Amino acid sequence: MSPNLNHSDNLFLSVSEVQQRIISDIKAVDGIEQVDLRHALGRILAADVIATFDTPPCDNSGMDGYAFHSKEIKGDETLTLKVVGQSFAGHIYNGEIKPGEAIRIMTGAQVPAGVDTVVMQEHTKKPDDETILITTIPKPFANVRKAGDDLITGQTFLAAGKQLSPTDLAFLATQGIAEVSVKRKLRVAFFSTGDELRSIGETLAEGDIYDSNRYSIYGLLKNMDVDIIDMGVIKDDRQAIEDAFNTAASVADAVITSGGVSVGEADFVKETLEKLGRINFWKISMKPGKPLAFGTLGNSLFFGLPGNPVSVIATFYQFVQPALKRMKGQNIVLPMVIKAKTTEFLKKRPGRTDFQRGILEQAENGELTVRNAGTQASHVLTAMSNANCFIVLPAEGGSVEIGEMVDVQPFEGLTG
């Protein structure tokens, strides 16, 4: 972890520029552990996984029906065959199959020597117990899954850096793999600073507010499957803040705070960061979330987020989450972007990239549409709660008319 820090940045930086500055030099954390398959969901593979045998291991039937040899097929003529046996999954037919003969076969059962085609039972009639009439002739080799159709011995089928999904667990199970090597979990510490902040359960005096940012950060981190260290609220005291930063940096791979990083803020956060770490204080051309601090505290990465509740969430998604994903060892880190048609007028002034809170829906014709989720002020959580996406309006652009296509970041594509 060696961010390319530059303390002379006074101009506004674009969102993409800051993203690239943050993630360009970040390396995945050291540390690998073996976990059993049932505990591997969501973890990041530390090494490629190689197939040790073909999957499927043998030719098998893709249908319930009857297996016979394709040499019997003569154009579109119906076929009458003698049924001489049966093959079920786990119970292979080992007898000889002669010309003019077929066997009953079930889905997943091994296709024995002497046959190479399966006709589904719906395309047959059964005049008696020992005879079938094929009424719809299949193509040669139809409905037979060939050995190695899915995996071939020696093939890399899951690559290092892959976040394991439920399907991946099934994929590993087909190879009989009980344990996998994964990157160790990140340790992330976070706290809030401010004499006005109170934890839930405390009484509010005049001018006090409850600390909400700690709960949004906790939820965002919980979605990322990291080890979370919540250090609570730290008072505006120089020594208390310095002690908190030192403690956090000693136990965590990354440290996150909210508030105290804007120009002119009267607290000890910035001076403490400058004393203890190598930190950039950036102004970003985005709305919400202009101020951001990023750098290192000892061996830990540090992220200082703005104080407004919506700004915390927006900057976390755009900057913190990609960095943490890279630290976890993931290959894909930047937010997913799709296109949708606006159904409402979207107000915007040119100058900053605007992450408006939106509601993404699918119209009856299948088209993706998006609309405003409510008041867009950075201190208002209502629209953020109602939203299921960010509507990303470019810095140079202005307001958007109904029916225009816009970039959208679905929240489902931002998590994990």
pLDDT digits (tens, 9 = 90+) for 384-403: 999 999 999 999 999 999 99
Rg of the chain (C-alpha set): 30
Q: Would you say residue 269 has pLDDT above 90?
A: no
pLDDT digits (tens, 9 = 90+) for 161-170: 999 999 999 9
Supply the DSSP string of 290-304, one letter for each residue. Answer: -EEEEEEETTEEEEE
Ordered by where they begin, the domains of the chain are 12-31+184-328 (3.40.980.10), 34-52+158-183 (3.90.105.10), 60-145 (2.170.190.11), 338-414 (2.40.340.10)
Sheet holding 65-68, edge to edge: 117-120, 65-68, 101-105, 79-87, 131-134, 124-128
- Please, where are the H alpha helices in 105-204? 166-174
pLDDT digits (tens, 9 = 90+) for 67-80: 999 999 988 888 99
pLDDT at 234: 87
**Band of the pLDDT at 237, cuts 50, 70, 90?**
confident
Chain-centre distance for alpha carbon 393: 23
Q: Would you say residue 266 has pLDDT above 60?
A: no
| Residue 303, C-beta contacts closer than 8 angstroms, at least 6 positions apart | 254, 255, 256, 257, 292, 293, 294, 319, 320, 323
pLDDT at 9: 47
Between 11 and 62, the higher pLDDT residue: 62
- Closest by CA to 46, choosing from 165, 160, 159, is 160
Point out which residues pair with 171 in neighbouring strands. none
pLDDT digits (tens, 9 = 90+) for 348-378: 999 999 999 999 999 999 999 999 998 888 8
